[in-house]
Amino acid sequence: MRRPVSIAPPKGKLGVLTPGMGAVSTTLMAGTELVRRGESTPVGSLTQMGTIRLGKRTESRIPRIKDFVKLAELKDIVFGGWDVFPDDAYKAAAKAGVLDSRDLAKAEKFLKTIRPMKAAFDQNYVKNLQGTNVKKGKTKFDLAEQLREDIRDFKKKNKLDRLVMVWCASTEVFMRPEAVHQDLDSFEKAMKTNHPAIAPSMLYAYAAISEGVPFANGAPNLTVDIPALEDFAKEKQVPIGGKDFKTGQTLMKTVLAPGFKARMIGLNGWFSTNILGNRDGEVLDDPGSFKTKEESKLGALEYILQPKVYPELYGKFTHKVRINYYPPRGDNKEGWDNIDIFGWLGYPMQIKVDFLCRDSILAAPIVLDLALFFDLAKRAGMRGIQEWLSFYFKSPMCAKELYPEHDLFIQLMKLKNTLRWMMGEELITHLGAEYYD
């Protein structure tokens, strides 16, 4: 990737489109509205609250990220989306039960203005879901054409300058890349013949790329992680990325595991279990959708701990992940981790983590950051996989010849160095030898 020669300023309005207007998406919409009205604080958002050090530690140059790289402002964001249920964002947010009635009431008028467009949906890919707000079309290609039309109409109606799309819809069943995913020609033919390897999420990604709209995948579905769409994104100069927002348990895993490795502490086993009761939990109750999530959650430890490089420490650990749908908890997930570690001379120790988290409260600021950073990438002429945004994903997409980087701290360094690099600032290596000359 070449360094951007220039970055177009974020003038005009930015449309943020989410396939899926459920818990995560409506929490993002309501929260953004409350923040831009000055009634709340964007906690959890690096783009809104984070700073970046520039130059030497003695220079005291620490601007906010959003001022350093000129991100779109919250007041310029216009939300839109698709869902298989016809509920407006207010009703959907009330059903999701993430926000309390006081916050919901404050955002009510605004949320009621956001009504979902008809979804490209097929129950074969999300078994535990049935809805009526669904597009009709003879072929999957027709559905993709309808999505393209939605994007164009939305842009025109709202007088938008630019758009980004972030997949916030349900997790689809597990799929592996197949022959029809290998190149654009085969992919388009497969859409026209209703091939089962073309999932609805791929139609959204295809439509976004066709319209020059960056696409980020917040779920673990294969979606845009296939050669056909990667090549298409490069050809159309569109940034893409995924997969699966890194929130609760995996966030903790990618914080703790690098710590063990840093101190050369060994690992015998890591058992993770969750209870959650929102619609996401209901969808994940289907073994097909759970398999997609499980694969996404399992990868992180292997990559961080490098068992092949450290066989005595990480050569034999057991890693299990369980998700249990338990309605009384709603969006307030509880994630338990039992971690069996060992230290000097192999003596065993245990760590127990009980994270009483709120899924969508953790996910909403991630969607906001992704929308703003993907818009930045597009304005900077960057295209294809945006690996520097791995920070936000459980299962980061990366170039074929690479392995994904999961360590949260390396991911953050990569993100910030990419911003410095884009802006022509010196990269920070943390060497610091010059202070002791």
Ligand X SMILES: NC(=O)c1ccc[n+]([C@@H]2O[C@H](COP(=O)([O-])OP(=O)(O)OC[C@H]3O[C@@H](n4cnc5c(N)ncnc54)[C@H](O)[C@@H]3O)[C@@H](O)[C@H]2O)c1
* Smaller CB separation from ligand X, 314 or 325: 325
- The gap between the terminal CA atoms of the chain, to the nearest Å, is 35
* Smaller CB separation from ligand X, 168 or 385: 168
| Residue 146 binds ligand X, judged by CB under 6 A | no
Tell which positions 377-436 bind ligand X, by CB under 6 A. none
**What are residue 277's phi and psi, to 5 degrees?**
-130, 20
Among 129, 353, 398, 423, binds ligand X (CB under 6 A): 129
Shortest Å distance, C-beta 424 to ligand X: 34
| CA angle 264–267–268, rounded 5-degree value | 150
* Smaller CB separation from ligand X, 140 or 261: 140
Q: Are strands 348-356 and 215-217 parallel, antiparallel or unpaired?
A: unpaired
Which residues, 6 or more positions from 351, have their beta carbon under 8 angstroms from its beta carbon? 256, 337, 338, 339, 341
The two tokens of residue 239 are 């940034």
Q: Residue 266 is inside which H or E element, if any?
A: strand 266-276
| Residue 20 binds ligand X, judged by CB under 6 A | yes
| Residue 19 binds ligand X, judged by CB under 6 A | yes
| CA angle 132–323–342, rounded 5-degree value | 155
Q: How far apart are CA 317 and CA 125, in angstroms?
A: 33
Among 16, 17, 23, 222, binds ligand X (CB under 6 A): 23
Tell which positions 64-103 bind ligand X, by CB under 6 A. 82-85, 96
Tell which positions 226-255 bind ligand X, by CB under 6 A. 244-245, 247-248
Binding footprint of ligand X, residue count (CB under 6 A): 37
Shortest Å distance, C-beta 263 to ligand X: 29
Largest CA distance in the chain: 72
Q: For 36, what's the count of Cα atoms within 13 Å in the CB-facing half-sphere?
A: 16
* Smaller CB separation from ligand X, 25 or 254: 25
Q: Side chain identity at 281, as an amino acid letter?
A: G
Single out the segment in contact with ligand X by CB under 6 A; choices: 7-15, 71-79, 115-123, 263-271: 115-123
* Smaller CB separation from ligand X, 89 or 313: 89
Q: Residue 81 is inside which H or E element, if any?
A: strand 77-83
Shortest Å distance, C-beta 7 to ligand X: 29
* Smaller CB separation from ligand X, 337 or 359: 359
| Residue 208 binds ligand X, judged by CB under 6 A | no
Shortest Å distance, C-beta 244 to ligand X: 5
Tell which positions 258-287 bind ligand X, by CB under 6 A. 278-280, 283
Q: How far apart are CA 161 and CA 327, in angstroms?
A: 42
Single out the segment in contact with ligand X by CB under 6 A; choices: 63-71, 102-110, 166-174, 233-241: 166-174
| Residue 359 binds ligand X, judged by CB under 6 A | yes
Which residues, 6 or more positions from 436, have their beta carbon under 8 angstroms from its beta carbon? none
Among 119, 222, 304, 305, binds ligand X (CB under 6 A): 119
| Residue 171 binds ligand X, judged by CB under 6 A | yes
Among 205, 216, 219, 305, binds ligand X (CB under 6 A): 219
Q: Pick from 296, 304, 313: which is nearest to 403 by CA?
A: 304
**Taking the mean position of all CA atoms in its chain, how far away is CA 197?**
22
**What are residue 430's phi and psi, to 5 degrees?**
65, 20
Among 4, 50, 86, 131, binds ligand X (CB under 6 A): 131
* Smaller CB separation from ligand X, 76 or 103: 103
* 3-class DSSP string for 370-399: HHHHHHHHHHCCCCEECHHHHHHECCCCCC
| Residue 375 binds ligand X, judged by CB under 6 A | no
Which is it for the CA torsion 219, 237, 135, 369, positive or negative?
Answer: positive
Task: Evaluate whether 238 touches 215 at the Cβ level (below 8 Å).
Answer: yes
Shortest Å distance, C-beta 256 to ligand X: 18
SS3 of 58, please? Answer: coil
Shortest Å distance, C-beta 356 to ligand X: 14
List of residues contacting ligand X (CB under 6 A)? 19-25, 82-85, 96, 119-121, 126, 129, 131, 168-171, 200, 218-219, 244-245, 247-248, 278-280, 283, 359-360, 362-363
